[in-house]
Chains A and B, each alone.
Chain A
Amino acid sequence: MRVTETLRFDLVSRRLSDLRSKYQDTALQATTGQRVNAPSDDPVATAEASRVRSSLAKAQGNERTITLVKGDVEMAEASLAQAGDVLQRAREIAMAGANGANGADQREALAIEAEQLVSQFIEISNAKGSQGYLFAGTQWDQAAFDANGNFQGNDQQHLVDTGAGEPIAVNVSGAQAFTAAGGREIVQDLRALVDGLKNNSTDAVRNTLDGLQLSHDQVARERSHAGLVLNRLELSQSILSQTDLDLSRRETDVVSADPTATFSRLSQLEGAINNSVTVGRRLLDIGNIQRF
């Protein structure tokens, strides 16, 4: 083949241009840390990365959801523990009041304490969380109980998606915990105790014992339910945290550049460019007109 001047110069410039272009691409990978910087770099990886990022966003959304609701469940659980303590104390008072050895004065004193327990119980039942009243069902904007101890909420669920398939209810039902919907109308049981004590009736006080025990069990049951919800949230959080990690790793695997390989490639290309310049110089020097 005849090698013309144009061919010689083109060969050198084209080779250098190719190497510079490859160097530029590799440098971009090194600086961004990404092997794929545009969809055309690897269309399959790009589509996969897009889906992985969506899954990651969803998992992060689920994690955020759990963080947002968990505090309220914890508060509800703590409130139920307090309510349980109140009912425990009420039973103790009832047992003391039912004891025939105690006189009317003592029952009157116990009645005062029992009345305070009613107020305390209503106050606990009207506990507020980050969104409003914790035990009012979904009617967070109004107290679960009015001043007279009448339940004003509903028995509806606050549903959220924690990424564990079906959505779960993250509110503790005040209706189930404190009203006849759960078995016992607890405020009425407490009031019956107050009335029995005030009336100095050992029989009436004794009759409240079973009701108070059932009330206590009812609150304990709902507290246990709150604990289960908390466990479930924590388990989901733990799974999501791992999912988050896995998806992030997957995204990295799909689009990220291997730093060692990238820098090694950069070094190779730098060497190739230097060699190409040296060879090019010699190649062009062959045609030096001085030798004629």
Chain B
Amino acid sequence: MNVILSFIQAHLELTYVVILSIFLGVEVISRVPSVLHTPLMSGANAIHGVVIIGAIIVMGQAEADNYLALILGFLAVILGTLNVVGGFVVTDRMLEMFKSKKTK
């Protein structure tokens, strides 16, 4: 219990951010037409690509002789970028179709 308390103390701001983000996520999504479920999921998929930032940090902090960190970090950067770029492009392609039929 003490450990948890001291953790919250030490990361008070982050804890706030977490709790507020949870409610925000729920609020933002709660009223969506079912047609948009797929693009929304895909968009959210691209957003969690922020892990890429972690991968960049790992990579950037790796010592030159730490091959494990270098190789895995490199792999992580590639995979993370795939997630971000692919995610946004796929979402855009989906939404593009919605647009074209609206203008008809």
A complexed with B: no
Q: Report A's interface with B, CB cutoff 8 A.
A: none
